[in-house]
Structure 1
Amino acid sequence: MVTLRFLASGSFLQVIGDTLGLDKSAVSRAVDSVLDALREKRKEFIQWPTKLNQTKAEFYEIAGFQNILGAVDGTHIRIKRLHHDEASFINRKSYPSLNVQTACDEKGRFTNINANWPSCCHDCHVFRTSQVCAHMERNGNWENGILLGDSGYLCRSFLMTPFLNPIEQHHGRYNRCHAATRSVIESTFGRWKRRFHRLHSEIRMDPKKVTKIVMVCAILHNICIQLNEPDVAAEEPVN
C-alpha cells in the first residue's frame, strides 16, 4: 500500500509517512523492497507479442494498417538536477530527464521498455541500440510483422515512419492511417502517467532508482490492463 501510494500520488516519502503514521526511513525501506520485488517480475508482465496474427488483426481494426506488431516512441521522465554529467540529462525543454523508450500493443500494454538513457540521446539512437531493434533485425519483415514510429526514427524494412513531405494523394492516406494507428503509443503514455502521478513530476532520486520506478510503473500498468481496471480520467494534457 505504501509503494502504491508513492507511485500513484506523486507525494514525497515524508508526506506519505506522515499520512500513514510512519517515519520517512520506514517508508523508504518499504518502497525499495517492493520496487525490487516487482522489478523481478518484469519478464512475466512485459512481453513481446506471441499471438502475432491476433495482434496484427487488432491493429488493423484501428485504421486498416496491415501487419503491425506494435508502436514505438520515447517519453521523458523528469529527474532532479545532477552534480555530475548534468549536460547529458538536459533535454530540449531545458530540464533534466531520462529518455524512456517503449513499445506497446494495440491495447496499450507495454511490450518493451528501456529507461536507461539520458535525455541527450535521440530516440533513433536509443532504438538502434535496443533489444527490440536487434529482435526486429533478425525477425522483422512484412510477413512477420513490423513496427510504427514517428519521424524521429529512420524508416527501415521493419519500422515504418510517415512521409515528411507527402506529395501524392496516397502518401497523405498513408500518413493518416499511420498517425491513427501509431496514436496508440501516445494514448498509452497518457493513461500510464495519469495512473501513476509519480511519472508526472520531478523524481528527486538518482537515475538508477528512477529507472527502477519507471519499470515498475510499466509492470503495474500492464497488470491493470490485464485485470480490466478502469483508466484514470484525464485532468490535463500529458506531455
Structure 2
Amino acid sequence: MEFLNDDLDILDIIENGIPRRINNSVSPLNQLLTTLRFYATDGHLSSVADFMGIHTSSASRIIKKTSQVLASLRLRYIRMPQNEEIVQVQNHFFQIASFPRVIGCIDGTHIRIQSPGNF
C-alpha cells in the first residue's frame, strides 16, 4: 500500500473551489483551518467560530463549502484495492497489527452501536 505522493498541499488543491474571501475577511487558509478545527472538535460550531474569531453563521457557510470541495476529491484519493492488490494490502495490514483479511479502513468518529439482540 503506497501513500499518494502527488498533491500533498491540500490548500493548493482546494483553493480554486472555495471563495477567495468571505465578507472580505476570511482567507482561504483560514477557511480550511476553520473546517479542520470543526472536524477535530466533534462538530461544535460555536466553539470553532469563537476560536477563529468569526460569527457562527460565517463558520457554518465556510465549513459547508470547504467540506463540499474536500468531498469532491474523494474519487481522486479514496479507492479500494482491486484484484491481486487485495492480497498485498491484506498482508500489509496483518504485518502492522496482526489483523487478518483487512483490505481498507476509514478513520472517523466512533459511535456506540446498540446491539440488535441479547448478546
Deviation readout 1:3-29 (Å, 9 max, x if unpaired):
100011214111111111100001000
Share of identical aligned residues, percent? 24
Deviation, 1:41, is 1.1
Deviation readout 1:194-231 (Å, 9 max, x if unpaired):
xxxxx247xxxxxxxxxxxxxxxxxxxxxxxxxxxxxx
Structure of greater relative contact order (alpha carbons < 8 Å, 6+ residues apart): 1
1:28 counterpart SS class: helix
Partner of 1:6: 38
- List gaps (5 residues or longer) in structure 1: 64-106, 108-176, 194-198, 202-237
Call closer, same or farther: CA 1:41–1:49 in 2, change over 3 Å.
same
Letter paired with 1:35: S
Letter paired with 2:87: K
Report the TM-score when normalising by structure 1.
Answer: 0.28
For residues 36-185 of structure 1, the aligned pairs below 5 Å read 36-50=68-82, 52-60=83-91, 62=94, 180-182=99-101, 184=102
Call closer, same or farther: CA 1:11–1:46 in 2, change over 3 Å.
closer
Letter paired with 1:181: P
Misfit runs of 4+, over 2 Å: 52-55, 60-63
Q: Distance in 2 between matches of 1:60 and 1:11?
A: 35
User: Aligned residue pairs: how many?
Assistant: 79
Q: Distance in 2 between matches of 1:11 and 1:32?
A: 12
Deviation, 1:58, is 4.0
Partner of 1:22: 54
Call closer, same or farther: CA 1:57–1:18 in 2, change over 3 Å.
closer
- List gaps (5 residues or longer) in structure 2: 1-32, 114-119
Report the TM-score when normalising by structure 2.
Answer: 0.52
Q: Which structure carries more strand by proportion?
A: 1
